[in-house]
């Protein structure tokens, strides 16, 4: 039995039945990383000795007892590096504390294991913006794993992780999950604490699970969700038993199909796979309802005004004085700041800081930032209106399958549009999931299911019912020991 290839629930069962130990599980992940991650490069690093020490103490009676979980490299784990995929922090910062989600994982018995690669400070849709290394899609090593949680999705798809935690600001869990053929869940804003998550855009960021099955995502969400006094934006709402809520069929469930999400520009293969997925939902008893989200069109523009404005403010702290990269050059304080930030940040981060500073500047604040906030309110109202009529919304997670590495590197606008179906959910603060629904030209396709705020039970139940009726989630890429490492 190859423990690394098991789902979270399967591994939990094996551990509880005495068929394996937590030490066996950590060693299986270490072996898998040694065999396969030299080609995928989903991990920036992993402290297996610390994980083995935790494994020896694991309480297998806890919900996640003895199960290793990979962590995106912008979530703080006490004593471990946290580079955010950036030269600004790489080799200079080691976390002095656990993020709330890490504390909750430990309380549930899980073992945080490994730091997964990402677009620098979560700014990107391909993980090509990492300042550390290039991560590849396990299904085709010449293609992107998506982003910004590309490493977190790639290691789950490659069976070098049982499950992982990522973060989603505009689609950064759902899009890479779609590209890599795994399950990615973005919780409702405030459902999971952001304390200990290095901020990109504070009103949009949300931590969530990337897993091999919907049931695994439900279990992991239940462990990390809940109110946190250290994060005032967490919701004062009880956490249901998400796994128990998976039971039941889809009879009577209303599934909305927004006409704005089925548009020209979506690849024919993606459209065919998602259409087949929607038909399967109907076969399972769901009622399909055509709906409209009229303010979808400006959502990308609104996102890139608000997200860059918040990034400009959040990243101001990285000045090379208190922590982070410090330039050896500079004759005065102003030049020292400029040198440290220009050397530490990559091109995409600089682009977004400049955009954000511009839209917040005197004379442009009302023209851009204030108007964007007003349109955001309209987007939120669109969702509220639609969810008064339907239980969930179905759509593609991305308009295409994984693109070739480098294909969009010099076309940031086209790259930004890769998140056209995911961004509005963050602006509206609602929940969503990407679940594998087919393939196009050999690459995975994800179907997105969106729910209202705190609508995770309905979203998870629909995704689970679909998963039980199909086998797309069981398919894994071939990454044999003889698989060549691409050059370049």
Cis peptide before 118 (omega within 30 of 0): no
117 lies in a domain? Answer: yes
Q: Residue 352 and residue 350: Cα distance in Å, rounded? A: 5
Task: For residue 249, give the CATH number of its domain.
Answer: 3.90.1300.10
Other CB atoms closer than 10 Å to residue 388's CB: what's the count?
8
Catalytic residue among 41, 72, 104, 186: 72
- Predicted TM-score of the model (pTM): 0.96
Catalytic residue among 83, 144, 167, 172: 172
412 lies in a domain? Answer: yes
83 given a catalytic annotation: no
229 lies in a domain? Answer: yes
Give the pLDDT score at 416: 83
Domain count, the chain: 1
72 given a catalytic annotation: yes
Q: Which domain holds residue 27?
A: 3-295+377-474
114 lies in a domain? Answer: yes
Give the pLDDT score at 186: 98
Catalytic residue among 148, 149, 164, 395: 148
Give the pLDDT score at 129: 97
Per-residue pLDDT in tens (0 to 9) along the chain, 488 residues: 899 999 999 999 999 999 999 999 999 999 999 999 999 999 999 999 999 999 999 999 999 999 999 999 999 999 999 999 999 999 999 999 999 999 999 999 999 999 999 999 999 999 999 999 999 999 999 999 999 999 999 999 999 999 999 999 999 999 999 999 999 999 999 999 999 999 999 999 999 999 999 999 999 999 999 999 999 999 999 999 999 999 999 999 999 999 999 988 999 999 999 999 999 999 999 999 999 999 999 999 999 999 999 999 999 999 888 778 988 887 788 887 888 999 999 999 999 999 999 999 988 999 999 999 999 999 999 999 999 999 999 999 999 999 999 999 878 778 888 899 999 999 999 999 999 999 999 999 999 999 999 999 999 999 999 999 999 999 999 974 434 434 33
> Which tokens in the block code for residue 172?
């950064």
Q: Residue 242 and residue 89: Cα distance in Å, rounded? A: 36
What distance separates the 2 farthest-apart alpha carbons in the chain? 70
38 lies in a domain? Answer: yes
| Under 8 Å between Cβ of 169 and 204 | yes
369 lies in a domain? Answer: no
148 given a catalytic annotation: yes
């Amino acid at each position: 039995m190859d423990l690394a290839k098991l789902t979270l629930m399967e591994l939990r069962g094996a551990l509880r039945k005495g068929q394996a130990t937590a030490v066996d599980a950590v060693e299986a992940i270490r072996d898998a990383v040694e065999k396969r991650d030299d080609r995928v490069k989903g991990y920036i690093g992993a402290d297996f000795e610390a994980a083995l020490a935790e494994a020896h103490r694991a309480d297998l009676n806890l919900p996640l007892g003895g199960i290793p979980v990979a962590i995106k490299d912008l979530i703080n784990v006490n004593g471990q590096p946290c580079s955010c995929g950036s030269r600004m922090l790489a080799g200079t910062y080691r976390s002095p504390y656990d993020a709330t989600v890490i504390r909750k994982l430990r309380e549930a018995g899980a073992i945080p294991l490994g730091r997964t690669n990402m677009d620098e400070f979560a700014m990107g849709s391909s993980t090509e913006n990492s300042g550390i290394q290039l991560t590849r899609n396990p299904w085709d090593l010449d293609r992107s794993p998506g982003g910004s949680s590309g490493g977190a999705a790639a290691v789950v798809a490659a069976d070098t992780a049982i499950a992982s935690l990522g973060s989603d600001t505009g689609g950064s869990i759902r899009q890479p999950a779609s590209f890599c053929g795994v399950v990615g869940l973005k919780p409702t804003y405030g459902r999971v604490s952001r304390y200990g998550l290095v901020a990109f855009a504070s009103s949009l960021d949300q931590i969530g699970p990337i897993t091999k099955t919907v049931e695994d995502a439900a279990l992991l969400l239940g462990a990390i969700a809940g109110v946190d006094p250290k994060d005032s934006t967490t919701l004062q709402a009880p956490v249901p038993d998400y796994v128990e809520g998976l039971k039941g069929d889809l009879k009577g469930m209303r599934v909305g199909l927004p006409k704005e999400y089925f548009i020209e520009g979506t690849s024919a293969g993606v459209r065919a796979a998602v259409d087949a997925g929607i038909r399967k939902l109907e076969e399972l008893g769901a009622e399909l309802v055509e709906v409209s989200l009229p303010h979808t069109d400006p959502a990308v523009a609104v996102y890139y005004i608000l997200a860059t404005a918040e990034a400009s403010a959040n990243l101001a702290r990285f000045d090379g004085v208190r922590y982070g990269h410090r330039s050896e050059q500079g004759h005065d304080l102003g030049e020292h700041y400029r040198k440290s930030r220009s050397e530490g940040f990559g091109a995409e981060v600089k682009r977004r800081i400049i955009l954000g500073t511009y839209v917040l500047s005197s004379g442009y604040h009302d023209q851009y930032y204030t108007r964007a906030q007003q349109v955001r309110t309209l987007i939120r109202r669109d969702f509220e209106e639609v969810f008064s009529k339907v239980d969930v919304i179905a759509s593609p997670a991305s308009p295409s399958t994984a693109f070739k590495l480098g294909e969009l590197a010099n076309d940031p606008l086209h790259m930004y549009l890769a998140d056209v179906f995911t961004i509005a959910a963050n602006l509206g603060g609602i929940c969503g999931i990407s679940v594998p629904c087919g393939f196009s030209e050999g690459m995975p396709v994800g179907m997105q299911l969106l729910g209202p705020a705190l609508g995770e039970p309905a979203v998870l139940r629909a995704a689970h019912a679909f998963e039980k009726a199909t086998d797309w989630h069981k398919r894994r890429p071939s990454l044999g020991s003889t698989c060549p490492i691409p050059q370049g």
